[in-house]
Structure 1
């Protein structure tokens, strides 16, 4: 199960990085006058970051086992 969580974390981190780079490239082009595309990229980046954080928490809880 830990392997699956690690793979999911890497995928979420990769998706975050991809959306971040796409957003920066889109901003550098400067074609979006309304900012709607930038807002869309920002929302996707925050979503993927949230997913990655949740996966990290699950990994830490699984690693902690029954301690407490």
Structure 2
């Protein structure tokens, strides 16, 4: 059981890094027109989506660590 949770944890951490890199790339592709326009640009929407993905994956990773700690505490 612990091995399965560790595998899920590694996957969640990998997904977090992927989402972080995706957000950084979207941020670097922002142009001055994107920054000075009215309303959210397509680049800004991509950045927001990547940030939400990263936060979600980080939350999953934290929950898995907590679960792993609870399970190992009982042994």
TM superposition score normalised by structure 2: 0.82
Structure 1: unaligned runs, 5 residues or longer? none
Following TM superposition, the consecutive aligned residue runs of length 4 or more in structure 1 with deviations greater than 3 angstroms are none
Q: Cα RMSD between the aligned structures?
A: 1.6
Specify the SS of the correspondent of 1:30.
Answer: coil
Q: Is residue 2:27 matched to residue 1:27?
A: yes
51-60 or 21-30, which moves further after superposition? Answer: 21-30
Match of 2:59 in 1: 50
Q: Residue in 2 aligned with 1:4?
A: 4
What's the TM-score once normalised by structure 1's chain length?
Answer: 0.90
Residue 40 in 1 paired to residue 49 in 2? yes
Higher radius of gyration, 1 or 2: 2
Map of 1:17 onto structure 2:
17
Aligned-pair distance for 1:8? 0.2
The runs of 5 or more residues in structure 2 that have no matched partner are: 35-40
**Matched residues, number:** 66
